[in-house]
Amino acid sequence: MPRFTALQKIASVGLLLLVPISSASAQFLQPEQPASKPAETTTPIKHLIVIYDENISFDHYFGTYPNATNPPGEPRFTALPGTPAPNGLTPTLLQANPDAVAPFRLDRSEAVTCDNDNHYTDEQKAYNGGLIDQVSELLSGTGTGCTPNLSMGYYDGNTVTAIWNYAQHFAISDNFFGSTFGTTVMGHLNLIAGQTHGATPNAVSGKVANGSVIANIDATDDDCSTGTTIEMSGKNIGDLLNAKGVTWGWFYGDWTPTSYVAGKAQCTSQYDDHYAPFQYWASTANPHHLRPTSVRTIGTTDQANHQYALTDFWNAVAANNLPAVTFLKAPANETGHPSTSSPLAEQTFLVNTINRLQQSPDWNSMAILITYDDSDGWYDHVLAPIVSTSSDPNNDALLGPSGLCGTSRSGAYLDRCGYGPRLPFVAISPYARQNYVSHTLNDQSSITRFIEDNWDLGRIGDQSFDAIAGSIQDVFDFSPLNGLLSPARKLVLNPDTGELEGQR
C-alpha cells in the first residue's frame, strides 16, 4: 500500500481552517499540534480508537434513520438536506412484517429494558433461513416486567440522538455484521482475533463445542473468573502488534480491583472478564490486574501487559502518550447493554469520550470506530451472507426445517456459523466521509484487518476471518485535498441530550 504522502503529513499538523459541513449549529473546535511522532502507517490514521459497546442490532438504533418522530419533550432530530437513507425499516416492514409482531418505537422513558436472547443456536432459529419471522417469539426477553415482544422494539433519533448526529457529520455502515451468531464472548473474540475456535478445553456443555466457543464462558487467565474457564490458542491482534513493536492497549472501566488477597485480584461486582477478551490468551493476559509501571509504559509490554483501567487511558492522553491502537470498554452501566445499562447511559459515555478526544493533539491523525459485540436478539431485517458454514446438528439451526448452517467445508472448524446479525458501525475522524453511508460488506474482523493493513502486521492465520474480511476504508477520504481541509472538522455534542452543543 502507498505510504502516507508528504502533502497529507503537512495537512495532519492541523491547518486552522473552519470547514462547516452544513448550516446546522454545530460547534467546531480548532485543532492542536500533535505532540510526538507516531508509528509508520499506510494511511494518515496514526491513532485508532475502537469503542466496543454492547448488544445492539442495526435496526434497533438506525432502523428509521434519518427520520425521527420528534414528540414534544424529547430532543429533536432533523436530518441535514441530502442525507442518504440506509437499508432500514421500510413502511412494509413497519406495517406488514414477516414476524407476527411489527417493529415498534421505544421512547426515552423506555431506555432501560429487559435483556433478550442472543444465543448462538436461538438466533439462527429466529432468522429461519432468511425469513426472519421468529424473532419476537424466540428472542424476546421474558422476565418479570418485560415489555411483550420486546425484541421488536427500536429507538430513533429522539433517544439515540448523539449517534444519529455522529452519522450526520461522519460515516456509518449499513452492511456491517457480527462475525458469527452468538453472545458477548464470541463478539469480543471475533473483534481481536477473527476467531472463536481454539478453546481449551475443547468441549464444555452448552458453551464450547468442537473447540469453538458458542456461549459466554470465563477466561482461565483472570483472577476474577469463576466456574469452568477456557484459554484460547493461536494469535490475536495484540500478538501481531507486539511483534511489530506497535503500542496498544485494552482499557476497561471496571478493570481496577478493590483489593488483593494472597496476591490475587479481588474485582468489583461489576467486573466481567467477558469484556476483557485479551485475558483469554496467555500471551496477552494480565491475570492479577497489575497496574502499568508508569504512564510512559502504557501501550508497551510491562507488568500490565496492555490491559488497563480507563483512568490509565486518560492518564496516557494527558501525557501525550496515546497508544497507536486503543480499545475502549465502558463501565458496565454505560455500555448500552439492556438491563444493566441503557442507550442514554451509553450516550453519556460516548459523547464525553469523543468530545474530550477531539481536544487531543492527536485528533488530526485519529479515527474512532464505534460498534458492538452482538445484537442482544434485537430485530434486524437483513440476513448476512453466510461466509462460514457449519453443520453441527447439536448447535446449528439456521436453515429452517433442515437445520444446520449449510454444509461445512472440508477441514473448516465447526460452530462458527456466520456472518451473524447486522450491527451499527460508526466512523468518527477528520478523515471520515461526511454524512456517508457505506454499503460495503464488513464484519467485526474487518476492524482487525484494518489494524493489520494500516500497521503492516500480516494476518493472524488458522482460519481467522481476517483473511476474508472486507475493508472499512471506504468510510474514509484520504485524498490530498481532504487531508488539507479535514483537521478543522470537529463536532461537540451535549452528553445528556445528544444534541449539537448550544442547540437548546
Question: Which residues lie closer than 8 Å to 359 by C-beta, 6 or more apart?
Answer: 29, 32
Range of the domain at 275: 47-475
Residue 493 lies in a domain: no
Where do we find the cell 491513532?
Answer: 47
502 confidence band (pLDDT: 50, 70, 90): low
**Nearest-angstrom CA–CA distance, 342 and 109:** 11
* pLDDT at residue 28 greater than cutoff 60: no
Question: Which residues lie closer than 8 Å to 146 by C-beta, 6 or more apart?
Answer: 113, 114, 140
Residue 11 lies in a domain: no
What average pLDDT is seen over the chain? Answer: 92
User: What are the backbone dihedrals phi and psi of residue 204, each rounded to the nearest 5 degrees, phi first?
Assistant: -135, 120
Type of residue numbered 387: V
Structure confidence by residue, pLDDT tens digits, 144-190: 889 999 999 999 999 999 999 999 999 999 999 999 999 999 999 99
Residue 36 lies in a domain: no
* pLDDT at residue 358 greater than cutoff 80: yes
Structure confidence by residue, pLDDT tens digits, 91-116: 999 999 999 999 999 999 999 999 99
Which of 13-17, 48-52, 332-336, 355-359 is least confident? 13-17
As given in the structure block, the three cell numbers for residue 431 are: 478523515
Residue 28 lies in a domain: no
What's the CATH number where 344 sits?
3.40.720.10
Residue 170 lies in a domain: yes
Residue 502 lies in a domain: no
**Nearest-angstrom CA–CA distance, 429 and 84:** 19
400 confidence band (pLDDT: 50, 70, 90): confident
**Nearest-angstrom CA–CA distance, 116 and 139:** 6
For residues 315-331, average pLDDT: 98
pLDDT computed for residue 5 by the predictor: 39
Nearest-CA neighbor of 50 among 484, 450, 486, 504? 450
Bridging pattern class, strands 248-252 and 208-209: unpaired
* pLDDT at residue 36 greater than cutoff 90: no
Q: Are 177 and 374 in contact (CB under 8 A)?
A: no
143 confidence band (pLDDT: 50, 70, 90): confident
Residue 199 lies in a domain: yes
37 confidence band (pLDDT: 50, 70, 90): low
* pLDDT at residue 7 greater than cutoff 70: no
Tally the C-alpha atoms within 13 A of residue 407's C-alpha that lie toward its C-beta: 1
pLDDT computed for residue 469 by the predictor: 99
492 confidence band (pLDDT: 50, 70, 90): very high
* pLDDT at residue 20 greater than cutoff 80: no
**Nearest-angstrom CA–CA distance, 252 and 497:** 25
Q: What percent of the chain has pLDDT over 90?
A: 88
For residues 13-37, average pLDDT: 36
Look at the chain and report how many structural domains it folds into: 1
Residue 53 lies in a domain: yes
**Nearest-angstrom CA–CA distance, 444 and 425:** 9
